[in-house]
Amino acid sequence: MSRMRTNTPIYQRVADDLRAEIADGTRPPGSQLPTEAELQEKYAATRYTVRQGLAALVNEGLIVSRRPLGHFVREIHPMVYRPQQEFRKKQPELDIFTQLLADEGNGRQPSQEIEVSIVQPTSNTLDRLKLADNELLAVRRRTRYIDGEPYNINDSYVRLSLVQDSEYMSPVDVARGTNQVLADLGKPLVRALDEIYVRMPKPDEVTRLKLGPGTPVAEHVVTTYTFEDEPVQVTINIVPGDRHVIVFERTREWPPAEQGESA
Amino acid sequence: MSRMRTNTPIYQRVADDLRAEIADGTRPPGSQLPTEAELQEKYAATRYTVRQGLAALVNEGLIVSRRPLGHFVREIHPMVYRPQQEFRKKQPELDIFTQLLADEGNGRQPSQEIEVSIVQPTSNTLDRLKLADNELLAVRRRTRYIDGEPYNINDSYVRLSLVQDSEYMSPVDVARGTNQVLADLGKPLVRALDEIYVRMPKPDEVTRLKLGPGTPVAEHVVTTYTFEDEPVQVTINIVPGDRHVIVFERTREWPPAEQGESA
DNA sequence: CAGCGGGCATTGTCCAGTCAATGCGAATGG
DNA sequence: CCATTCGCATTGACTGGACAATGCCCGCTG
């Protein structure tokens, strides 16, 4: 037969075989994969080669390696992330984040770290808030946890001059909600623009959110506006893909009538 | 002094250094990175090690390797992906997809491949459409291109019994839009539920969309309902993260009870 | 001048090893 | 019986090679 062209590289076959077994349920979430040594034998390859195959799966987010224990099929526990909920009528006692989770009905314990500081605008915030020149911004940085594990990052930017001396600046949970604080300051938020970017995380996000390799994130940027279409607040959420489903609901503007507006 | 613990592995330093240079603009998009040989010299490491560093950046989607040419900083050209637009009033002459692009105002040429087939429901579609037993589904599979490059995948599922013999089944562009076809069949779609999952692509998605390594995708699942909250259609969009921004707009449901309009 | 073909730089795949780090569990000592 | 230590299996980091594949460029040929 001589040199039958085997085309697909060995490490690919390792990855493909394992991926198929994970997909069809042969290897359920949480189960341990063969060790590198076992794979070496099975594929008659060196450790380097089988490691390459495993690395591919790690980068696809399908498996994780726990250092001296082995490789395991990844388990995911997505929670529902519902940007619109923020605009719904709500019990004003509950913080929005807590309320979101309450919807789930499971007993997971949310908590958050809040940190308020003053920063110079970046290009991100600068043109979304249509800032004049180097006006300063107040930023409320929140990292939110469930059962002690970080779940997402939520940084809100507003013009410092607007919220100076207000409750907005206090690094604690604001019971009535920061949106209410802004409304009380004469800037009720009635419109929002959501932008969602899907990408791999930056190194600092990896550490802040304890992300495993192969975990993409959604960068969810919300710009909120007043009646008069004045942008007031930019919120940047970093939402790990392995822990969230983003959910929106929509209704048609016009039930089949042409032109006619019937809200 | 003596043996200062150098802690971070060499390949990490390679990745970190290059990442920083990309971030601060020293290495602009499209520019060529040092060759592996050059990096070997700079870091006094073997090729394996510098390759590990480069591989990390590839998996982050920051760089691409063009086989015998070298590694290059990745260029991205995101287009706006606006799920809601589908529900807006529109010139019925234009296909939705074409219209989306028209908004951009740039001269990129859209095209699409349409394929209609009949399938058994998967768990995905089965419970979203609340199907009775093994009712068959019609699926319109579309792959959409811009300037010949694949941009996203769009598969729509409806009950076969509903659309049999209708225009829905013809694998060509339906001028008035498939939503209109469904409306004409007595199922006007007025509500939609959007779910967005962020993950790494499956191998078949990689090939269908010609995805580079390190490119995550959004799986955007839309379930559309009639007045009576009957689910009619499930659409699964696969949206590559490097080529899209997903955009939503929201208005507050109740402007504190009076003040009717906000456009 | 157009077309072809071969050299070549560069990345892709793979081999055969070494030593380090780490968490678990068994052996050990009080 | 409990706490501590230590062996060990397993993955992580890295060395130093080899040969294959592939676009590009340049020189040759008609």
The CATH code of the domain that includes A214 is: 3.40.1410.10
**B198/A239 Cβ within 8 A:** yes
- B36-64 burial string, b = 16+ CB within 10 Å, else e? beebbeebebeeebbbbbbbbbbbbbbbb
**B213/A216 Cβ within 8 A:** no
**Which candidate from B61, B218, B247 shows the least CB-CB separation from A194?**
B247
Is the same domain home to B199 and B105?
yes
pLDDT band, residue A6 (cuts 50/70/90): low
Q: Which residue lies nearest C14, CA-to-C1' measured?
A: A49
**Which candidate from A192, A242, A247 shows the least CB-CB separation from B194?**
A247
Retrieve residue B33's tokens: 């990175």
**Which candidate from A89, A248, A251 shows the least CB-CB separation from B248?**
A248
**Cα B252 from Cα B125, distance rounded (Å):** 31
**B189/A198 Cβ within 8 A:** no
Between B87 and B119, the more confident residue is B119
Mean pLDDT along residues A122-141? 88
Is the same domain home to B63 and B173?
no
- Can you give the pLDDT at residue A88? 52
Please tell me the distance in Å from A124's CA to the nearest CA on chain B: 14
Is the same domain home to B161 and B233?
yes
**Cα A60 from Cα A4, distance rounded (Å):** 30
Rounded to 5, what percent of chain A is helix, strand, coil?
30, 30, 40
Retrieve residue A10's tokens: 């060995």
Distances (CA, A) of B209 to A80, B196, B206, B238, B242: 28, 18, 5, 9, 11
A206 close to B160: Cβ distance less than 8 angstroms: no
H or E segment to which residue A252 belongs: none
- Number of domains comprising chain B: 2
Query: Positive or negative CA dihedral for A240, A144, A176, A139?
Result: negative
Q: Does the CB of B197 have a partner CB in chain A at under 8 Å?
A: yes
pLDDT, tens digit, for every residue of B155-173? 999 999 999 989 999 888 8
Measure, in angstroms, how far nucleotide D14 C1' is from residue B73 CA. Answer: 26
- Average pLDDT over chain A, rounded to whole? 83
Q: Residue B51: which CATH number?
A: 1.10.10.10
CB pairs under 8 A between A and B: 148
A65 occurs within a structural domain = yes
Please state the length of chain A.
263
**Cα B36 from Cα B34, distance rounded (Å):** 7
Mean pLDDT along residues B3-30? 86
B254 occurs within a structural domain = no
Please state the length of chain B.
263
- Can you give the pLDDT at residue A5? 43
Count of beta carbons in the 10 Å neighbourhood of residue A233 = 26
A253 occurs within a structural domain = no
Q: Of all nucleotides in the shown strands, which has a C1' nearest the CA of A54?
A: D11
B74 close to B29: Cβ distance less than 8 angstroms: yes
Q: In what order do the strands lie in the sheet with B244-251?
A: A110-119, A137-146, A149-159, A231-240, A217-225, A191-199, B244-251, B79-81
From the centroid of its chain, how far is CA B258?
A: 39
Is the same domain home to B84 and B69?
no
A150 occurs within a structural domain = yes
Mean pLDDT along residues A191-205? 91
A155 occurs within a structural domain = yes
* Residues 117-146 (A) with a CB less than 8 A from some CB of B: none
* CA max distance for chain B: 82
Domain end, chosen from B47, B73, B99, is at: B73
**Cα A104 from Cα B8, distance rounded (Å):** 41
- Can you give the pLDDT at residue B30? 93
Is the same domain home to A107 and A231?
yes
A260 occurs within a structural domain = no
> Which residues span the domain enclosing A68?
10-73
Residues of B in contact with A249 (CB under 8 A): 191-194
Is the same domain home to A31 and A94?
no
Residues of B in contact with A188 (CB under 8 A): 255-256
pLDDT, tens digit, for every residue of A49-103? 999 999 999 999 999 999 899 999 998 877 888 877 665 544 333 344 444 444 4
Is the same domain home to B14 and B109?
no
Retrieve residue A46's tokens: 């060196």
Mean pLDDT along residues A163-175? 89
B145 close to B111: Cβ distance less than 8 angstroms: yes
